[in-house]
Structure 1
Amino acid sequence: MLDAKTRWHVHERDEDASALAAALQVTERTAHLLCRRGLRQEDEARAFLHTNPAVMHDPFLLAGMEAAVNRMSRAISENEKIVVFGDYDVDGVSSTALMCETLAKLGADYDYYIPNRFTEGYGLNSMALQRLHEDGARLVITVDTGISSQSPVDDGNEMGLDVIVTDHHEAPPELPAANAIINPKRQDCPYPFKELAGVGVVSKLAHALLGEFPLDGLDLLALGTISDLVPLVDENRFFAQSGLQTLGHLERPGLQALKELSGISGPPFSAETVGFGFGPRLNAAGRMDAAGPAVQLLLTADMEKAQALAETIDGYNRERQQTVDNMTKEALVHLEGAGDHWAIVVAGRGWNSGVTGIVASRLVEKYYRPTIVIALDEEGNGKGSARSIEGLDLYDALSRHRQLFQKFGGHRMAAGLSIHEDDISALRDALNEEAQKSLSPEDLVPTTNIELELDVDDINVDLLREIEQLAPFGVGNPKPLVTIANVPIQQKRKIGSDKNHVKMAVGEPQRTLDCIGFRFGYLDDEINGDANIHLVGTLDINEWKGQEKPQLVVKDVAVKERQLFDVRGRERLPSLVSGDRPMAVVIFQPEHEKEAIAQGFSSSDVVWAGEESLTTATDIFFFDLPNHLADLEHFLTSNERFIRSIYTGFMEKSSTFFMTKPTREAFKWFYIYLKKYAPLHLHDHEPTITRYQGWSRDTIQFMVQVFTELEFVSVRDGQLTVNDKPLKQDLNASPTFYNYEEKQDIEQTLKFSNYQALKQFLFACMPLEKKRVEVLTDGL
């Protein structure tokens, strides 16, 4: 058995799907997916499938737009210096680039400024505004930031510097006293679509200023909108869909250079290309140093300069990957036992504040708890990132504890903050309390919403083309998850330089489906090749040498049947010892406990088959051989309801299976020999005995064991002595001699049988398993 990591919720076919399919002339599967996205009306669904510029709303519906356009127009006409003040993530740098290109079209005197994450922190700051004012700036336009910057805006007003805020983050109760604030999330804003990214807000301002929508900036809109994880619906869908087409032309030398250097596949590009290719690399500059090179990369028209900038940014990305891995490992050390808490707050001195958000996401993926990761400097000042789970509005929860923060802002699912080390304990308590109030125990196990149940025979390129009509996929329009149930495995293997991915082929031999599981390499050890597997994933087209084949990208896996793993003959068992699943080590001979512990198992894992029973569901590992097959049968029968998967080691080194039972004459000769040379160390005499009699070492050990049980000889510290006055006893009085045939039968059945014979024997010992097999084979 193998448990899924999440709760699977399969959505039944929507009752409105048939009518919608007929109206749109699409399949019921496509109609079902549209209904699942709330698009039940024909006109709404048709607009979704056939997105066009008509979906865009009037930019002047945004509160503050008219005031912003008037102030900017005056600045341009009077040749005032304008500075675009951006953020250091992809949304921020693409917003900055789009605003700069708009100002260039209008003939403005402009520049841009991105704060340094490490020396200035997030958002507007008064020192930066002071420097900009001294350099001649008279108007600052924030992009993707500023909605919570009351104090810096006040300082700017005092020094005679006007500020226009464009942002999309949650608006606090008190807004800055700026010349204009454009944010669809303002409570007084009538704009019909509230989920624009920062670059989306900038595009509306550009539209208002230029009198037409900036179509040449659609590639920037795609970068920022997709990377910022805003819902890809309404205007955002148009920005992403049309922007990906524009992005595919690679008219920006910087993006062309970055694609070629980094090996990003395409064009055409998908939302995944942006989310996992361009996005992380453009983010890396601001995470590891300063975001200036990312803005320059987007704006430069010089190919040689673009190549140099792309090399710099790709280098930052490699450094970022290593930093994230190291910080995550350190955080995990701090968080042993974190699963007992409702929320996670972890801090580390010397951590890179630029990657706290990525590390927080990694921890959410592992523990599925609201998580805050904080990087502390030597003075105890912390900069952190927060990530939430479904069921907890992070912005709302943390807003109730604003007194703990030096700075704070964000969304329902993510936030950024500054805090002093002394307040972290109070923050941990506060977040745990908020999580406990908002979440139930069930909420701490993620739910996977599955939209289609399919068989392997259903999956072909035509189906994938059909699903692709709904692209681009992202927040609000997720790539459909499909499930394939109870399917046999034809092939599986670990792949990747670190062997941390798995590749499988599932289905019947004549019709298989390729599956790839990134970071699922462990499945190769935890799923047997003869098991039937249940899969959840997304479907892709895999192109190889001009051929297209469907492929399932694995998101979760379950095996609902009991499995047998044959590890007989292995010297050591590191994968079993280091596994994080429950494991009971079953021993039949108490003296073998020390050997099990020497293998790395804990004494608390050891179960003596004759004296103990299982009390909780667990995998079991049969460490040694039983004295009687009935002992093993009894253990399996009485503990079946707690046994998940069975691992067979049977690791005893001595064997009777390949040994002929010595005759009584042989025992007589051996006893005379021992009397003649005792006391002796047996290993010194084994070569001589073998030369004269042809006996194997196992045969000699067998005979010594018989003599020991009959008290004819004694062995201490490796030295054998013959007892002076032994009792006269028949060889059958020795259990080892008497049970010779049964011992051979045990070894034949458990130690030297093939996998199928062993599985058949063990599973037949369990009544429920035996009944299941009988049901499956009935009528065959």
Structure 2
Amino acid sequence: MRWTLKPKPQAEKIKALQKALQVDAAIANLLLQRGVETFEEAKTFFRPSLSDLHDPFLMKDMDLAVARIEKAIANKENILVYGDYDVDGTTSVALMSTYLKTKYPLIHTYIPNRYDEGYGISYKGINFALENDFSLIIALDCGIKSVEKVAHAKKLGIDFIICDHHRPGSEIPKAAAVLDPKREDCNYPYKELCGCGVGFKLVQALASKDGKTVEDLTEYLDLVATAIGADIVPINGENRALAYFGLQVINTNPRPGIKAILDKVEKTELTITDVVFIVAPRINAAGRMKHGNYAVTLLAEEEHDKANQYASEIDEYNLDRRETDKQITEEALKQIEDQKEQNRLTTVVYDENWHKGVIGIVASRLTETYYRPTIVFTKSGEKLAASARSVRGFDVYNAIEACSEHIEQFGGHKYAAGLTLEAENYEAFKQAFEDEVTKTIDRNLLTPEIKIDAQIELNDITPKFYRILKQFAPYGPENMTPVFMTENLIDTGYGKCVGADKTHLRLTATQPDTSKSIVCIGFGMGDKLELISDRKPFNAVYSIDDNEWKGKVTLQLKLRDIKA
């Protein structure tokens, strides 16, 4: 692990913010690192408000989108709400369809089949619209690159409204409206909304025409918060407010579908991390193992008994998904070892029998193992389909784009992308990708990095300090859980390996010349016991957590790494 201490803000700025907020220097330091420099900015950060949300009509084409939907309702047109099969897509479809049905009955939903249609807008979906007399398709979390498909639909008399957040290509589809804050000609103040977030802005705009405010739409924010967590978008600005209030809905009055998922795991107070690891995988499992429609049905269901039934089915899909991705990960690791490819700077593997629904998860697991840009391919119809994942700091989307001569289509983000290509182009693409990454990557990025917010002493960790720290949540990109470093720690003598397989490290740390001691837990760090035994001094990187045991809550350090 590389330990990187973030640059410390200017001393005068720390002092000024300390004075304005009456907080410790360490808290002022953390806030400044997150771009919070004044009392007012701190107030917005610690006390998000729905009034912080921007006017949806600042987004390019929002007026056109609202006008086209109003026209469809006035003319009694059939409207098809179309979205991708992942969490962002299915939550978007559930959000848009349930809202529109409060205004108008002729609403239907469509999720493409991951296996015979693939990602995004499909010709099969357009044909479904044609055969069933849909003259307007609202596409969510996809469509920004579907230039030919949108043009094809238009010839058939079908209009599109696109709500996307992915990077546009060189040409914008000629749809009735294209909502995407990443459009170069869009002046919307916040660029990092997820697909469901863009959908929510359209709902906000439609509701405003009926005299409703954003406060009237809070019941939909559980879906938005789930999508924000699952899609790993920055949790700052507008996303922070949406996630903050969405979590409140999840924890106090979630829709029946989300409540049914939570009932299965008996979890009470959820954080955004819980949403990512508990709610999102189950929603995703439907699209991976069966069909994304199951997830939409669950999320849109209003009756608790039916929602519980759907959640039970989806739980089964999730168990199947776990078993499948474990098996494929083992096969992929063996393939890398057999082909003696450990010395490459990329991981590109392929097996025609791998389940297309889990190759993204497998790519993430391989990235964790070898820590380099990774692409996992499988067969999809006559072509090969793949999921790509990257290491922190490297733009895998740009690297794939540089190899586009070998690719049929691709899309995605800096750290995650999908692509398809002809089978005969696989080897050429694999080599081109290796060459591109070799040429462009900083070799330091191939060693996992821990970014440390601040160096502190154990005496700095007080209940008051932690109370303020908890208010930094919800955490996510651009506002990660604060990570600290403390030097010259000593175990009090009771450090040991714990857990059923003794793979975790538990110790009580203290510092010379201080009476303070604090329990530390290092998951998967049992092999580092030797570093702390016999009162050897060590340095630690950690986050601060609370631990509940027999009704008593105490602070503990969650170790990220230790060094002699």
**How far off its partner does 1:395 sit?**
2.0
Find 2:439's aligned residue among 437, 440, 443. 437
Letter in 2 for 1:236: N
Aligned partners of 2:394 and 2:445 also within 8 Å: no
1:232-311 equivalence runs, <5 A: 232-263=235-266, 265-267=267-269, 269-311=270-312
Match of 1:573 in 2: none
SS at match of 2:282: helix
Q: 1:144 to 1:10 in 2, by over 3 A?
A: closer
Distance 1:259 1:313 in 2: 12
Partner SS state of residue 553, structure 2: strand
Alpha-carbon contact 1:392-1:435 (below 8 Å) kept: no
Instruction: Measure, in 1, the Cα distance between the counterparts of 2:154 and 2:509.
Output: 66
The size of the alignment, in residue pairs, is 552
Q: How does 1:216-615 map to 2 (within 5 A)?
A: 216-263=219-266, 265-267=267-269, 269-336=270-337, 337-377=340-380, 381-489=383-491, 490-497=493-500, 499-507=502-510, 511-524=516-529, 528=533, 530-558=535-563, 560=564
Shift of 1:540: 1.3
Q: Distance in 2 between the 1:501 and 1:458 partners?
A: 26
2:94 aligned with 1:97, yes or no? yes
SS in 1 for 2:168: coil
Q: Which amino acid aligns with 2:207?
A: L
- Quick one: distance in 2 between partners of 1:401 and 1:502? 44
Query: Could you say if the C-alpha distance between residues 25 and 330 of structure 1 is closer, same or farther in structure 2, counting changes exceeding 3 Å?
Result: same
Deviation at 1:517, TM superposition (A): 2.9
The whole-number CA distance in structure 2 between the counterparts of 1:295 and 1:411 is 24
State how far apart, in whole Å, the 2-side matches of 1:191 and 1:162 are: 24
* Partner SS, residue 151 of structure 1: helix
| 1:164 paired to 2:161 | yes
Matches of residues 188-207 of structure 1 in structure 2 within 5 Å?
Answer: 188-207=185-204
Contact 2:497–2:503, Cα closer than 8 Å, also in 1:
yes
1:527: Cα distance to partner? 6.2
2:171 matched to which residue of 1?
A: 174
Partner-residue secondary structure (3-state), 2:143 = coil
Q: Which moved more, 1:241-250 or 1:230-239?
A: 241-250
Deviates more, 1:56-65 or 1:428-437: 428-437
CA distance in 1, matches of 2:327, 2:462: 41
Does 2:85 align with 1:88? Answer: yes
Q: Secondary structure at the match of 1:103?
A: helix
Residue 497 of structure 1, CA deviation: 4.8
- Cα distance in 2 for partners of 1:25, 1:341 equals 52
* Aligned position for 1:7: 3
Counterpart of 2:330, as a letter, is: K
Task: Return the match for 2:135 from 129, 133, 138.
Answer: 138
Determine if contact 1:6/1:556 at 8 Å carries over to the other structure: no
User: Percent of aligned positions with the same letter in both sequences?
Assistant: 37
**Residues 490, 532 of structure 2: 8 Å contact kept:** no
The answer to whether the Cα contact below 8 Å between 2:490 and 2:535 also exists between their aligned partners in 1 is yes
Equivalent residues of 2:228, 2:243 under 8 A apart? yes
> 2: distance between equivalents of 1:323 and 1:504?
36
Give the CA RMSD over aligned residues: 2.2
Aligned match for 1:109, one of 106, 109, 114: 106
Q: Using a 3 Å threshold, how does the CA distance of structure 1 residues 175 and 403 change in structure 2: closer, same or farther?
A: farther
Task: Give 5+ residue unaligned stretches, structure 1.
Answer: 561-780
Once residues 499 and 74 of structure 2 are traced to their aligned partners in structure 1, the CA distance between those partners, rounded to angstroms, is 58
Q: Which amino acid aligns with 2:222?
A: D
1:93-137 deviation digits (Å, cap 9, x = unpaired): 111111012201222410111111122211110012102221221
Counterpart residue type for residue 119 of structure 1: D
* CA deviation after TM superposition for structure 1 residue 521, in Å: 4.2
Once the 2 structures are TM-superposed, how far is the Cα of residue 225 of structure 1 from its aligned partner?
A: 1.1
- CA change 1:449–1:204 in 2 (3 A) is same
**2:99, 2:466 → 1: CA distance?**
39
Decide whether aligned partners of structure 1 residues 249 and 20 sit closer, same or farther in structure 2, where only a CA change above 3 A counts.
same
Matches of 1:422 and 1:177, distance apart in 2? 33
1:472-522 per-residue CA deviation (whole Å, 9 max, x = no partner) reads 110111111112323223434444455544433333797542333333344
CA contact (8 A) 1:82 1:108 kept: no
**Of 339-348 and 294-303, the range deviating more from structure 2:** 339-348
Provide the C-alpha distance between the structure 1 equivalents of 2:140 and 2:525, rounded to a whole number of angstroms: 39
Counterpart-to-counterpart distance in 2, 1:270 and 1:254: 18
The aligned residue for residue 65 of structure 1 is 62
**In structure 2, distance between residues paired with 1:326 and 1:527:** 36
Deviation, 1:10, is: 5.2
Which is bigger in relative contact order (C-alpha 8 A, separation at least 6)?
A: 2
**Partners of 2:474 and 2:520 in 1: how far apart?**
22
Shift in alpha-carbon separation, 1:516–1:190, aligned structure 2, 3 A:
same
Give the C-alpha shift of residue 525 in structure 1: 7.3
Taking the aligned partners of 2:532 and 2:356, their CA distance within structure 1 comes to 39
What's the counterpart of residue 45 of structure 1?
Answer: 42
Q: Which moved more, 1:218-227 or 1:338-347?
A: 338-347
- Taking a change above 3 Å as real, the CA distance of residues 524 and 234 of structure 1, as seen in their structure-2 partners, is same
Paired position in structure 2 for 1:660: none
Structure 2 vs 1, CA of residues 288 and 507 (structure 1 numbering), >3 Å: closer, same or farther? farther
**Matching of residue 32 in structure 1 with residue 29 in structure 2:** yes
Following TM superposition, by how much is the alpha carbon of 1:376 offset from its aligned partner in structure 2, in angstroms? 2.5
Residues 365 and 189 of structure 1: CA distance in aligned 2, closer, same or farther (over 3 Å): same
Letter in 1 for 2:52: V
CA distance in 2, matches of 1:114, 1:499: 45
Report SS of the residue matched to 1:556: strand
1:81 is displaced (CA, Å) by: 1.0
User: Which amino acid is 2:242 matched to?
Assistant: F
Could you tell me which amino acid in structure 2 is paired with residue 304 of structure 1? D
Contact 1:492/1:505, CA 8 A, preserved across alignment? yes
> SS of 1:362's equivalent?
helix
User: Deviation of residue 420 (structure 1)?
Assistant: 2.6
